[in-house]
Structure 1
Amino acid sequence: MSGTPPPAGGFVRRIGLFQATAINMSQMCGIGPFVTIPLMVAAFGGPQAVIGFVAGAILALADGLIWAELGASLPGSGGSYVYLRQAFQYRTGRLMPFLFVWTAMLFIPLAMSTGVVGFVQYLGYLAPDLGKTAGDLIGLGIIAFVVLLLWRGVENIARITVVMWVVMIASVALVTVAAATDFSPHLAFKYPSDAFELTSSHFWIGFAAGLTIGIYDYLGYNTAAYMGAEIKDPGRTLPRSIIHSVFGIMVIYLLLQIGTLGVIDWTRMLDPNDIASSSVASAVLEKAWGKGAADVVTVLILVTAFASVFTGLLGGSRVPYDAARDKVFFRSYAKLHPKHRFPMLGLLTMGVVTAVGFMIGRHTDLTTLIQLLTTVMVIVQALAQILAVTVLRKRQPGLRRPYRMWLYPLPSLIALVGWLTIYGYADKNSPGRHPIEWSLAWVALGCVAFVLWARFERVWPFGPREIREEFLDDYPGESSVETLPGG
């Protein structure tokens, strides 16, 4: 997260194109597709829900090209943290990277809480008599267990990640193959009469909801960019890994979505009392291959959900730690456990927020949880990065850009329209939940926290601005640091 190019004895550039693409795809395809297919069908009101996954892929690709240019030209460790710091340091000092960390401490654990909600949903297939309270307690217990495992330090993360990837691929493959063996085109392509009424406001509200769910399922296409200091030839590897992972996951999702709709009548997914609404993959396996096969795949999905929460909290807990170590966040988050050397406060904070998000998702609905995490993410990360590309082209024209966005600024405009559509329709798609207002309140609270922190640390606007143009020379070059008066 420090954002600096790898110094001697620091990070080693050992991750190639295949590994970077696998990292992205592993993060993209966790529990998401197994729990969102019914949500997508509900948003569109029929099997035309496939549109949502295609629209999500277009937005992910357009936004991914933004990540590609920024990651190729600023190949440090930290992703958005680095890009926002480099682009906006000239006028607002450390405000934007601080706000990114502040919002990440909300949207990262909220994303993890969706995995726990999905875990309990699929557990309900194996234990159909599982009550609401029992499900709540099991979910909270899973979160506590993950924190406990991470509290003792982790020695074999690479092996755990590989196991998660293998189980995830096995789960998706088995569901897709099972769907193909019992596929009915009549079910998959029988659309309601008003399915494509583009002049109807109902269609566009459903489209916005589907786009939100779609981009949630694609989140992770940028994971390798956070490891920029460890990527071999990042100018070529990062753009290609992003593009390959988006197209690869799009094919997987379309096969999974169309296959599921060809086995399960979409109206079953709208019935809250039908197992297809909460555990649609299990329903597919049961209909195609029987209850025994469905039980086995359900267990694999539970493992996938648990592993995604485990690795997500592992990485998420490092975000405030690295920022605090770089003196861009509260100092208390820079403390490590004296024995196991992990960030204690970051892990505890993320664990608590995950638990709160899980309870929100359980006692509202999963769609509301997805709306909350995407609206928080849109303001500081998505929209700010679109602006960052243009700002850096103007502020640092001499910056080495091994990859320049195709058809600039068209991808930026497509991403802008997509993110604004998600944000603008958020309240309509979560009536009474007010995700827009909550996201604005969280960012406003972050601004207050920044002012208090900046006052204590005596940085802009209460001290000088430190301009660090460390990527102007070929990496891994030396940083160029200039201290300017505040104000």
Structure 2
Amino acid sequence: MSEIKLERKISLLQATAINMTDMVGIGPFVVLSVVAEIMNGPWFLYAWVAGALLSMVDGMVWSQLGATYPLAGGSYNFLKDGYGGKWGKLMSFLFVWQTMIQAPLVIASAAIGFSQYFNYITPLSKYESKLLSGSVVILIVTLLYRKIEAIGKISVLLWVGVLVTMAWIIGGGLLHGNFLEPIKHINDGLTVNHAFAAAIGFASVKTVYSYLGYYNVCHLGGEIINPQKNIPRSMFISIGGIAVLYLLMNISVASVLPIKQIQQSKFVVSLFVQTIAGPTFATIATILILWVAFASVFSATLGYSRIPFAAAQDGAFFKIFAKLHPTKHFPYVSLLFLGAVAFVFSLLFKLKEVIDAILAMRILIQFIAQAIGLLLLVKRKGKAHFAWRMPLYPIPAIVAILFWAFIFYSTGVKMMLGGLTVIGLGLVAYFIKEKVTANE
């Protein structure tokens, strides 16, 4: 019997659709008002620019690694090869360890956001909201329980819904608002000082959350057609496209609603549509936003399910996660496990807690350590080793490290300690695993 393997069936269009649907989840709709409140002025647009710049420079790190190591699991492979030997084993294990916690948190955050925004259509009790968010996770796992080519087609369909929603919001501002006003007044009352830098830091924690997912294609590296070209292309198309859409959406909303109203509304985009077109169209817009949130959970769950699978196949994680479905050829054990944990998280936590926890938990290993790993890998193997090379190396990688360190600090002491605690527990688990393995 031939060995069951992942199949390269995802095209550039589908890879871009998967990335963009992951990026434009419920995030930009629920954090828009939070960012405006933190910045407390028309210059809140700068926080969205900061998120785009960080995504672009970090995307270069991911592109150089993803194009060279187009395998399932993304960062697991990058960290293992970047650090090499025992350090590579440790860093890749820590990444999988944190993924088993933070991946379900990401999935749960989108499901909780879905439930939260649904309240605009019909108010839900606390328990009804939890039931809805849990149901979203179950439906996502059900849809993903199929062959990858079918998933690629579903992703494109969901992506179309994302683009239609964003186009409607932006078009509404162009037709009914004074679209250039927010840009003309972006610097009104602005003083660049320590307080502004602190505000940018806190606000960027929220905007960066809304950009996360530009690297999702790397987790699916073993299923991408022509990965050396399509992995970098899909990332930069996704980041550039989403940055433009986010800025235009924020400008559009600010061209119709006063800043105070933006800061105070939990359903700011629905309120925006209600202002320009009435309550019926606001309800339709809310349904489209829920479509976008659902698409994001779908895409994120797809990518994350490949990480424990890749580690298990490599012998660095529990063997059961290495199983592929006998006929549909996808890592079904990994998918079901992450879905089950995400279901529990969706019932336990609030959205605000989850957003900060996601970033604090991921930054040190998945972003900072990965960028350092790239620098070490280039030093060991030379630039010619890589299938794609970032321009102006190593400047983008160093800038990404500094950016991420600033964002980590901005998550606050409680979240920083939480992230370090997860790493500490991961170290304990790693050394226990190594000792058990050595005694076998």
Same-fold call, TM cutoff 0.5: yes
The answer to whether the 8 A contact 1:375-1:435 is kept is: yes
**Distance change (3 Å), C-alpha of 1:373 and 1:384:** same
Corresponding residue for residue 290 of structure 2: 302
Pick aligned residue for 1:204 from 197, 207, 222: 197
> How much is the aligned-residue C-alpha RMSD, in angstroms?
3.0
User: How far apart are residue 361 of structure 1 and its match?
Assistant: 4.5
When Rg is computed on C-alpha atoms for both structures, the one with the higher figure is 1
User: How far apart are residue 253 of structure 1 and its match?
Assistant: 0.8
Give yes or no for the alignment of 1:395 onto 2:380. Answer: yes
**Distance change (3 Å), C-alpha of 1:208 and 1:359:** farther
2-side partners of 1:231 and 1:296: how far apart? 35
2-side partners of 1:124 and 1:303: how far apart? 15
Number of residue pairs matched by the alignment: 439
**Matched ranges for 1:243-392 at <5 A:** 243-271=236-264, 277-335=265-323, 346-359=334-347, 361-362=349-350, 366-392=351-377
Report 1 or 2 for greater relative contact order, CA contacts < 8 Å, sequence distance ≥ 6. 2
Corresponding residue for residue 126 of structure 1: 121
1-side partners of 2:174 and 2:217: how far apart? 32
Pick aligned residue for 2:35 from 40, 50, 60: 40
Gaps of 5+ in 2: none
2-side partners of 1:417 and 1:93: how far apart? 22
Pick aligned residue for 1:164 from 130, 154, 158: 158
Q: What secondary structure is seen at the aligned counterpart in 2 of 1:305?
A: helix
Corresponding residue for residue 207 of structure 2: 214
The answer to whether the 8 A contact 1:235-1:401 is kept is: no
2-side partners of 1:30 and 1:19: how far apart? 17
2-side partners of 1:403 and 1:144: how far apart? 38
User: How far apart are residue 340 of structure 1 and its match?
Assistant: 7.6
**Distance change (3 Å), C-alpha of 1:285 and 1:12:** same
**Distance change (3 Å), C-alpha of 1:223 and 1:143:** closer
Please, what TM-score do these two structures have when normalized by structure 2?
Answer: 0.89
Pick aligned residue for 1:56 from 44, 51, 61: 51
User: How far apart are residue 351 of structure 1 and its match?
Assistant: 3.1
1-side partners of 2:354 and 2:55: how far apart? 20
User: How far apart are residue 112 of structure 1 and its match?
Assistant: 1.6
The answer to whether the 8 A contact 1:179-1:263 is kept is: yes
2-side partners of 1:111 and 1:89: how far apart? 29
Give yes or no for the alignment of 1:82 onto 2:93. Answer: no
2-side partners of 1:195 and 1:411: how far apart? 32
2-side partners of 1:48 and 1:302: how far apart? 28
The answer to whether the 8 A contact 1:360-1:369 is kept is: no
User: How far apart are residue 11 of structure 1 and its match?
Assistant: 5.3
Gaps of 5+ in 1: 1-6, 272-276, 429-433, 464-487
Please, what TM-score do these two structures have when normalized by structure 1?
Answer: 0.81
User: How far apart are residue 254 of structure 1 and its match?
Assistant: 0.7
The answer to whether the 8 A contact 1:29-1:218 is kept is: yes
Q: Which moved more, 1:181-190 or 1:257-266?
A: 181-190
The answer to whether the 8 A contact 1:164-1:303 is kept is: yes
User: How far apart are residue 286 of structure 1 and its match?
Assistant: 1.0
Corresponding residue for residue 444 of structure 1: 424
Corresponding residue for residue 116 of structure 1: 111
Q: What secondary structure is seen at the aligned counterpart in 2 of 1:263?
A: coil
Percent of paired sites with the same residue: 34
Q: What secondary structure is seen at the aligned counterpart in 2 of 1:264?
A: coil
Give yes or no for the alignment of 1:423 onto 2:408. Answer: yes
AA of the residue aligned to 1:238: I
Give yes or no for the alignment of 1:67 onto 2:82. Answer: no
User: How far apart are residue 154 of structure 1 and its match?
Assistant: 8.7
2-side partners of 1:340 and 1:30: how far apart? 27
Give yes or no for the alignment of 1:456 onto 2:409. Answer: no
Pick aligned residue for 2:133 from 139, 147, 159: 139
1-side partners of 2:7 and 2:344: how far apart? 37
User: How far apart are residue 349 of structure 1 and its match?
Assistant: 3.8
**Distance change (3 Å), C-alpha of 1:130 and 1:76:** closer
Corresponding residue for residue 221 of structure 2: 228
1-side partners of 2:335 and 2:66: how far apart? 27
2-side partners of 1:338 and 1:20: how far apart? 24
Give yes or no for the alignment of 1:180 onto 2:174. Answer: yes
2-side partners of 1:452 and 1:157: how far apart? 38
Corresponding residue for residue 472 of structure 1: none
Corresponding residue for residue 473 of structure 1: none
Q: Which moved more, 1:411-420 or 1:147-156?
A: 147-156
**Distance change (3 Å), C-alpha of 1:239 and 1:144:** closer
Q: What secondary structure is seen at the aligned counterpart in 1 of 2:105?
A: helix
Give yes or no for the alignment of 1:94 onto 2:89. Answer: yes
- The CA deviation string for residues 253-309 of structure 1, in whole angstroms up to 9 with x for no partner, is 1110110111122212333xxxxx222221111111111111112112222222322
Q: What secondary structure is seen at the aligned counterpart in 2 of 1:288?
A: helix
The answer to whether the 8 A contact 2:117-2:286 is kept is: yes
AA of the residue aligned to 1:251: V
1-side partners of 2:301 and 2:216: how far apart? 14
The answer to whether the 8 A contact 1:179-1:285 is kept is: no
